[in-house]
Amino acid sequence: MKLLLCLLLCAATLTAAGKTVFDFALNSIDGQPASLAAYKGKVVLLVNVASKCGYTPQYTALESTYEKYKDRGFVTVGIPANNFGAQEPDTNQEIKTFCSSKYNVTFPMMAKVSVKGEDIAPLYQFLTDKAVHPETGGEIQWNFTKFLIGPDGHVIARFEPAVTPDSPEVISAIEKALASLKS
């Protein structure tokens, strides 16, 4: 029985190891199916966002970074989550209205998901899996955790909430990933 369990666990890890972010789909903020495969060939910054968080002003830097690099193959994707301090209690429509009216967000926004716990979204289960992503995996600690995804769908880097989207380390990683598009 232990051997069977071990084999199943190993098989699951190997299956997950062959996946990329582009194998997942979410719903858009408007409730439409949104395959992340639409971003193949682009550099993607996935961010779990919240409207009532101390880090919420990062929407400004998320939008300006998106605007600065979108024509070069970069996209920011906001993914609302209510896992931390009930800081995203609103409906998807309320979140959309808030983001566009307060922060002029034009980058893609997805429907609210769970980024940790028993109801964790499959995408976040994959992103946080330490067996698959030993350097960038691990439980999401708070809102505005950022994952930089390469054009092949693999995680390049993870930035914790206090690291702003326009910080030198994030910008450098984005520019390096975008340079790989030219080669």
Q: Print the domain residue range for 149.
A: 20-182
Comparing CA positions, the residue from 29, 31, 37, 138 lying closest to residue 94 is 29
Mean pLDDT of the chain: 92
State pLDDT tens for residues 120-150: 999 999 999 999 999 999 999 999 999 999 9
Residue 13 lies in a domain: no
Residue 7 lies in a domain: no
Find the catalytic residue in 6, 10, 53, 99: 53
Confidence of residue 94 (pLDDT cuts 50, 70, 90): very high
Determine the Cα–Cα distance for residues 25 and 122; give it in Å rounded to an integer.
9
Determine the Cα–Cα distance for residues 152 and 155; give it in Å rounded to an integer.
9
Residue 10 lies in a domain: no
CATH code at 131?
A: 3.40.30.10
5 pLDDT exceeds 50? no
Residue 120 lies in a domain: yes
14 pLDDT exceeds 50? no
Determine the Cα–Cα distance for residues 43 and 148; give it in Å rounded to an integer.
7
% of the chain exceeding 70 in pLDDT = 90
Tell me, yes or no, if 53 is annotated catalytic: yes
The tally of domains found in the chain comes to 1
- Report strand pairing: 33-35 vs 25-27: antiparallel
Residue 165 lies in a domain: yes
Residue 129 lies in a domain: yes
Determine the Cα–Cα distance for residues 113 and 28; give it in Å rounded to an integer.
11
